[in-house]
Structure 1
Amino acid sequence: MIVIGLLIIIATFWLIIKNYETRLVLALSGGLMAILGRDLVGSVDAFIQQFVNSGLVPTICTVLGFSYVMNYTKCSDHLVAMMTNILKRVPMIILPSTVIVTFFLNIALPSAAGVAAAVGALLIPMLLALKVKPGMAASAVYLGTWGSVISPGLMFNPQIADMAKVDVMTVIARTTPSVLISLGVAAVLLTIMAIVMKEGVGSNKDALATDEGQVVKVNYLYAVVPVLPLILLVISSKQIGLIPFISVPQAMLLGTMIGFVVTRCNPGEATKKFFRGAGDGFADVVGLMAAAAMFCAGMESIGLTGALVNVMKESQAAAQFAAAAGPFAMAAVSGSGNAAALAFNGAVVPHAADFGYEIIELGSVAQIAAALGRTMSPVAAAAIICAKLAGVNPMEIAKRNAIPTIGATIVVTLLLL
């Protein structure tokens, strides 16, 4: 049964890499394993339970709704433009600053593809105007698109919080210092590569004089609105406690209402955008988590989860390596780390104490490694967007991001585990 289960898992990930519908592949694979393990009903129940998970569903749906409203009101554009205007004043540190600014914008705007499009449209032309080589310009923006790992709206943080029986800000507070150190490592490594490869500011001698991208007159009040929910969550968290506790859904709804008032948008249309985002969050994110839960239940019924846990009990090094290397490699190949990270978190992380780790740390390493693996993938949507904006092949970005992302993964794994 173990061998059959391993073959099913290999086939599952191969189909995902080949861009078959991830939810369908995970659900069918989980169902097949559950049939072999004589527990199809249990696998289906695991699928259904995710749809009524009170800790995850409201968080994911309200975050996506808020994000859609920010795009509709153009508040996201003003936030990006404000950060871009700051960067223009420091050309000598423009590459690491681009990585870091994109990273922090990705916390407020959790979609990697969305932030790549919004930030790339402004920063990549600016970098090209400063005579940065196109491949390096695209890589700098793309390398910052894993900031969502410390966003309360990322599906994994509520999932880990639910398993650990803590609030989502506790998870983020525990992982943020290690993530920020890893961010610094990635930014420095890319800067060193730009120097060694002679692709930094002023290196592209053949570049024609160009405009520095579109000019947006920043409305600073609009620019602040996308980060208001984050501010509310931080100051109301148990670690700070300046105001009474506010949950993620509450913060997102408050941010949405403030956006309505500040931008004086059409409330009817903005409301439609909010619920469209909430619906897409349910379909795309909650649906994926439900399929992953069915997959994990199938693994457990066939005995594969128990075998994997037993191997990890024998060695902390095995658990440490599996948590980082598996999701990273899967994401780098497929362009999405969601399936691998969800499978690992669902099957292995609940047993973290059995091999000497805590749920928060082990689960966080898996999802951070997946995000970093996706940040060097040439087939991810964010990579394709950045490559298009810079006029290069996505593979050129992947080659430049390989060392920084691998370095950051090693550092965050060693710091957290």
Structure 2
Amino acid sequence: MLSLVIALIVTLGVGYMLYKKYKPQGVLFAAGIILLFCAAIFGTSNIVTAKQSTGTVWLDIFVAAKLLFSSRLAGLGLTIMSIGGFVRYMENCGANKALVEMAAFPLKHVKSPMLIMVVAYIIGQIIDLFIPSHAGLGLLLMLTIYPIMVAGGLSKLTAVTIIATSKFTDIGPLSSNAILAATTAGLDPVTYFIKYQLYAVLPAIVVVGAAHYFAQPWWEKREKKFNINVFTEADESENQLDSNKKVPAIYAVLPMLPLFLVVIFSPFFHTGIKLDVVSAMILSTIVAMVFEFIFTHNAHLVLNDIMKFFEGMAKQFRVVVSLIISAELYGLGLVKIGAIDSLIALATGCSFSTHIIVLVIGLIMVMCAFIMGSGNAAFFAFASFAPKIAGVLHVDSVLILLPMELSAGFGRCMSPITAAIVAIASIAGVSPFHVAKRCAIPVILGFIVHMLAIYYYFL
């Protein structure tokens, strides 16, 4: 029980510091080191294997950190960084904007405000597959779809709420959360997406959209009745996208190219050709450079802009990969101190069914993502525990990882401190707290349906 007490104290400290807006990387990294020191003091387990040991347990703590760095940078980290590089290149050349504009074209011909809302929601869910960043997708939709929704008769707050829930789950083989879940489960990201994510998410997507249709008019009437002020000062500086850059419509196919390649040449379709995500990103970037040269005839510009790809990679290391490593170090500390074994023994001693444990895991992830304002931070901190929990329950680890990964997105979309919600709300000049409140009813209903779908299809 001592291990659980120490883990609880450290975890409460982590939660408090995250609530106080400390950087999650630093908090989780420090918490992991503290827990590993506690494990060394109490001798609960070996920090590293005998072959990897320095000869003293105190230095083994830093060897464990080094091993996490080397394993993640060479595998999952490189995958996520390559995706970030490609997305940054797509933003720079205007291809992401071209994709959203092409998808938004049908909205211009819709007259009913409520129908505009439904179509905009559907467009957001589709584009979600190609743009893995919640904030990036939100800013693009604010630039293209938001003006159409407002001009069509929707209030600013309703339009922003629809955009905020365009990524209430992290799905698709390009999502960093999905890639981590698939890697941990020993699956190909495409297989994980098609065989697991779609079944768990599609019913929730339908329910969230239907809930918006009824919930948003109700909020409009309530806010008008009680004269609730939902506005703040608009800050256009939040929008970092170049709205004046014009590119050919054919550029819209470029952001879709990696997804097409990794799906077609994945083990799921048995084509005999295997293409990993990193290779697909490099190939797609080269294709985009060829497009740029054809349409600009400026070799100097095209070759210089490759630096945008590397800038995107660097940003993903700074923001996402560093978070994965820090969260996994924290997770390693919890494991080495014996807290996870004690917690699992406690749960199995209470004879909880798999259904209850899966529900509890989902609720924990929702709460963590809500508090942290980040689906990545919440999922990365707990993903490494899934195989051990699955082993005790005698189920496939993917059945624990699936609700873990997807539930984090639900919690993020209800948090007023989520970066994407803060950014898009500031552009529209509405309160992020009111945006989060507007998201709550549809997202909660979506979470319930999501859990029922997991029960029905997989448990």
Tell me the TM-score normalised to structure 1 length: 0.90
Pair 286,100 (structure 1): closer, same or farther in 2 beyond 3 Å: same
* Equivalent position amino acid for 2:369 in 1: A
* 2:308 matched residue in structure 1: 273
Q: Deviation per CA, 1:215-267, whole angstroms, max 9, x where unpaired?
A: 98773310110011001111112222346121101111111111111122623
- Decide which of 95, 115, 137 is 1:115's aligned counterpart: 137
Structure 2 distance, partners of 1:96, 1:356, is: 42
Shift of 1:291: 0.7
Q: Secondary structure at the match of 2:167?
A: coil
Contact 2:174-2:259 within 8 A present in 1 as well: no
* 1:403 matched residue in structure 2: 441
- Decide which of 76, 79, 87 is 1:59's aligned counterpart: 79
Structure 1 distance, partners of 2:35, 2:281, is: 38
Bigger mean CA deviation after superposition, 187-196 or 251-260: 187-196
Pair 349,412 (structure 1): closer, same or farther in 2 beyond 3 Å: farther
* Equivalent position amino acid for 2:146 in 1: I
* Equivalent position amino acid for 1:363 in 2: L
- Decide which of 264, 268, 275 is 1:246's aligned counterpart: 275
* Equivalent position amino acid for 2:172 in 1: S
- Decide which of 357, 361, 369 is 2:407's aligned counterpart: 369
Contact 1:311-1:318 within 8 A present in 2 as well: no
- Decide which of 200, 210, 225 is 1:188's aligned counterpart: 210
- Decide which of 291, 304, 323 is 2:339's aligned counterpart: 304
Structure 1 distance, partners of 2:187, 2:110, is: 41
Structure 1 distance, partners of 2:68, 2:176, is: 12
- Decide which of 13, 16, 20 is 2:15's aligned counterpart: 13
Structure 2 distance, partners of 1:248, 1:272, is: 20
Moved over 6 A (4+): 214-218
Task: Give the 5 Å matches for 1:353-364.
Answer: 353-364=391-402
Structure 1 distance, partners of 2:129, 2:116, is: 20
Q: Does 1:155 align with 2:190?
A: no
- Decide which of 244, 248, 256 is 1:227's aligned counterpart: 256
* 2:189 matched residue in structure 1: 168
* Equivalent position amino acid for 2:256 in 1: V
* Equivalent pairs, count: 402
Shift of 1:377: 1.1
Structure 1 distance, partners of 2:161, 2:106, is: 20
Q: Deviation per CA, 1:93-146, whole angstroms, max 9, x where unpaired?
A: 221222221222222111111111111122222111112122111101111123
Q: Does 1:68 align with 2:97?
A: no
Bigger mean CA deviation after superposition, 261-270 or 172-181: 261-270
Structure 2 distance, partners of 1:127, 1:167, is: 38
Contact 2:139-2:424 within 8 A present in 1 as well: yes
Stretches of structure 2 that go unaligned for 5 or more consecutive residues are 41-46, 48-57, 222-242
- Decide which of 278, 281, 285 is 1:256's aligned counterpart: 285
Pair 279,397 (structure 1): closer, same or farther in 2 beyond 3 Å: same
Structure 2 distance, partners of 1:394, 1:404, is: 16
Identity of aligned residues (%): 26
Contact 2:389-2:400 within 8 A present in 1 as well: no
Structure 2 distance, partners of 1:215, 1:180, is: 35
Shift of 1:46: 4.2
Q: Does 1:79 align with 2:99?
A: yes
Shift of 1:340: 2.1
Q: Deviation per CA, 1:151-174, whole angstroms, max 9, x where unpaired?
A: 323222222222222211111112
* Equivalent position amino acid for 1:6 in 2: L
* Equivalent position amino acid for 1:72 in 2: N
Task: Give the 5 Å matches for 1:85-164.
Answer: 85-92=105-112, 93-146=115-168, 149-164=170-185
Q: Does 1:337 align with 2:357?
A: no
Q: Provide the alpha-carbon RMSD of the alignment.
A: 2.1
Contact 1:332-1:376 within 8 A present in 2 as well: yes
Q: Does 1:380 align with 2:401?
A: no
Structure 1 distance, partners of 2:428, 2:37, is: 49
Stretches of structure 1 that go unaligned for 5 or more consecutive residues are 200-213
Tell me the TM-score normalised to structure 2 length: 0.82
Q: Does 1:351 align with 2:389?
A: yes
Q: Does 1:284 align with 2:304?
A: no
- Decide which of 48, 61, 65 is 1:47's aligned counterpart: 65
* 2:5 matched residue in structure 1: 3
Contact 1:33-1:298 within 8 A present in 2 as well: yes
Structure 2 distance, partners of 1:198, 1:16, is: 33
Structure 2 distance, partners of 1:45, 1:144, is: 41
